[in-house]
């Protein structure tokens, strides 16, 4: 018995179209599939009888088969949970980028909320890399990460 691979990461969102505008429009992800889900098996899997979901699956263009599943509960909507990263049960999704400084400035100009500015990692296994946290429209934490090897080949603004 073994786990073979990661298939997807799932986020429950309050408005699927708004989330697609963010992940597709702001981050450049591609929509793999989009559908309304109301099949009986979904009720069994989610534990909500008669569930109806707006669903979309997005991925980084050209990447392997890891997909971000976005689910909007049309029926059985819930209240948002606090998303601070220190709260057990919360997670984050990290994307590797080629020029963190450019991403940061572009997304700030487009109104994306950030937790901090890009920060140089000064210790540990990722020393020399840079990282920053931002929030998606529902408050999920997204990390943008530029490996040290890419910082060495990026422009001078990425090395500051």
Q: Residues 78-93: pLDDT tens digits?
A: 999 888 888 888 889 9
Q: How far apart are CA 75 and CA 61, in angstroms?
A: 31
pLDDT of residue 156: 43
pLDDT of residue 63: 79
pLDDT of residue 30: 96
Indicate if the pLDDT at residue 121 is higher than 50: yes
- Residue range 24-70, pLDDT digits in tens: 999 999 999 999 999 999 999 999 999 999 999 999 999 778 899 99
Indicate if the pLDDT at residue 101 is higher than 50: yes
Q: How far apart are CA 38 and CA 53, in angstroms?
A: 6
Domains, in order of start, for the chain: 8-73 (3.10.180.10), 92-159 (3.10.180.10)
Tokens 């500051």: give the residue: 160
pLDDT of residue 150: 57
Averaged confidence pLDDT in the chain: 91
Q: How far apart are CA 159 and CA 36, in angstroms?
A: 45
């Amino acid at each position: 018995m073994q786990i073979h691979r990661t298939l997807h990461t799932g986020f429950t969102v309050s408005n699927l179209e708004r989330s697609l505008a963010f992940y597709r429009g702001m981050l450049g992800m591609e929509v793999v599939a989009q559908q309304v889900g109301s099949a009986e098996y979904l009720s069994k899997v989610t534990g909500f009888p008669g569930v109806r979901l707006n669903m979309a699956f997005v991925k980084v263009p050209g990447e392997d088969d890891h997909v971000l599943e976005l689910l909007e509960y049309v029926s059985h909507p819930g209240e948002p949970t606090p998303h601070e990263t220190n709260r057990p049960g919360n997670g984050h999704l990290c994307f590797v980028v080629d020029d963190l400084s450019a991403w940061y400035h572009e997304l700030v100009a487009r109104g994306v909320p950030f937790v901090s500015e890009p920060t140089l990692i000064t210790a540990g296994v990722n020393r020399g890399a840079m990282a920053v946290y931002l929030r998606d429209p529902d408050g999920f934490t997204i990390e943008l990460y530029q490996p040290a090897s890419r910082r060495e080949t990026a422009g001078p603004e990425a090395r500051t």
